[in-house]
Structure 1
């Protein structure tokens, strides 16, 4: 859902700068959406297969970790989704096909045992940041529109940083035990949870404040979206800084939930404004 919102946000912002849209472009946008869904589906399902042991240590109730879904079945489905995403992307055009292939490679490298970029926070942040930029660019390219408007550039940059500086780090708070057992070197493991919470809080407020300042200067029409991110960043910072290492797992997950709710609300505000 989050990546589909990003994809269509890119389309909405591109159309605001170049409103011409033909029937062929609309069909290409649909194929692009299906392609992106398949690529993200592969990325998350493959990650779940590779995180099997850590998730069991962390007490996850996900189907793979709980044994309700066999890993072999999940891998087959994931590979099928990857193939389907490439076929759909090819129907959307050369640009979307190249971006989709890049997205699949990033998703694979993030979790694959030989690369395992998920094991270190800076590498994970880089993957997440690039995946955000690719997603915002994929929609406009499916329409044949150059993703270069100031509003699109600012929003893509700010929300990709929101993913990298906030989401990619906050997600680790509930998984520290499993990550440590698996030998991962995330910030929550190496720096400690308290210091990492401070970094997340600072990152959230910085992204929200910078987005708002940038919108005021270069894209005033994006101020409502930026205001949502700023408010969410402040709320997330409060929740993050008041959390404790001894909290139950669902409470340690709260910063990540605030991250998700904020980005959902921001994109819904953006798309709602585009419709109006």
Structure 2
């Protein structure tokens, strides 16, 4: 990448890798392996994470390139957006996307034909989500349904098929539960982006239906997804500790969404959404712990104690997020203007200048 120092290259790649999203991808991949009975196979997990994380890098680069103008409105100065902060140029992201797609495809086919074909399909869907003429991201509810398919189905199914096992109806029902729960999460992302989405005609669920309906639909997705995951995780629904842990987490999310549905400031809004994200990650960790410890033959009291500890950590982190909001320590150095400028960027700056002269909002 055209950045000043090698350390800056690493920081840009970390920012593009979206660490929080990468953790989700890793958890979904591990859940796929665990559902296939391979929870204790770290070498296979590592082999699966290579194509999965390369796919994530490809998706982020393509999306950031397509949404650069919107991100300048929604996320000015956001250090997780190298194009917005001028830490990287458009050509850098194009090259990164091409390499990431090649790595994702090759590494997936090394795992087998089914993982390879699955990866090719996911790359096509991800490109269609961001790029014109398809550009599913602008199609409101369709975007909220398609994005979770990439973020949940790919890592989960790749982990599942990499073991060579058949995909059973129970596996698909668990996938549907994970998918539904993630829809509830991804709808909340639109609160952060609502200003730019409305300005550029991006008809998200929030823009079309408002915050109260969005929070209500999100709560329904969280609840349905949690119930489906609970009943498809072996031994979870019949044991009081896993069932109680899931119930408490879903109840906490519903309370947060109730607060979010009312009038709150931007900073408070961001903190509330961060709290739901912490609970979402915690639910995945609880599910993975239930599967892994059962396969390892842990006794019921020991498994229950571990789940109680994980539940306490999850709710504690969520409470901290709700109170203080998310934090980041990543700093990206900006490029010289000549390295960042592209014909597209130049035309957007000219358009923004024209809007400013006419008294309209500028991107």
From 216, 235, 240, the counterpart of 1:220? 235
Match of 1:6 in 2: 28
* 1:195 aligns with one of 199, 213, 216: 213
Cα distance 1:259–1:41, how it changes in 2: closer, same or farther (>3 A)?
Answer: farther
Flag structure 1 segments of 5+ consecutive residues without an equivalent.
Answer: none
Matches within 5 A, 1:173-252: 173-212=191-230, 214-215=231-232, 219-221=234-236, 227-243=244-260, 247-252=264-269
Unaligned runs of 5+ in 2: 1-22, 299-363
The two structures, once aligned, show a CA RMSD in angstroms of: 2.7
Q: 1:254 to 1:117 in 2, by over 3 A?
A: farther
Q: What TM-score, normalized to structure 2?
A: 0.65
Provide closer, same or farther for how the CA distance between residues 254 and 189 of structure 1 changes in structure 2, counting only shifts above 3 A: same
Where does residue 301 of structure 2 map in the other structure? none
| SS at structure 2 position matched to 1:242 | helix
Please state how far the C-alpha of 1:251 moved relative to its aligned partner.
Answer: 2.6
Which 4+ stretches in 1 moved above 6 angstroms? none
In structure 2, do the counterparts of structure 1 residues 94 and 210 end up closer, same or farther at CA, with 3 Å as the change threshold? closer
Aligned pair count reads 265
**In the alignment, which of 50, 54, 66 is matched to residue 34 of structure 1?**
50
Cα deviation for residue 227 of structure 1 reads 4.9
1:202-256: per-residue Cα shift (whole Å, max 9, x none)? 33233334544x35xx843366666544433322222222126764434323454
Q: TM-score, normalised by structure 1?
A: 0.84
Q: CA 1:30 to 1:211, structure 2 compared with 1: closer, same or farther past 3 Å?
A: closer
Pairs within 5 Å for 1:101-180: 101-131=120-150, 132-148=152-168, 150=170, 152-164=171-183, 166-180=184-198
Give the drift of 1:79: 1.6
More helix by share: 1
Q: Would the aligned equivalents of 1:197 and 1:241 in 2 still touch at CA under 8 Å?
A: yes
Distance 2:247 2:70 in 1: 33
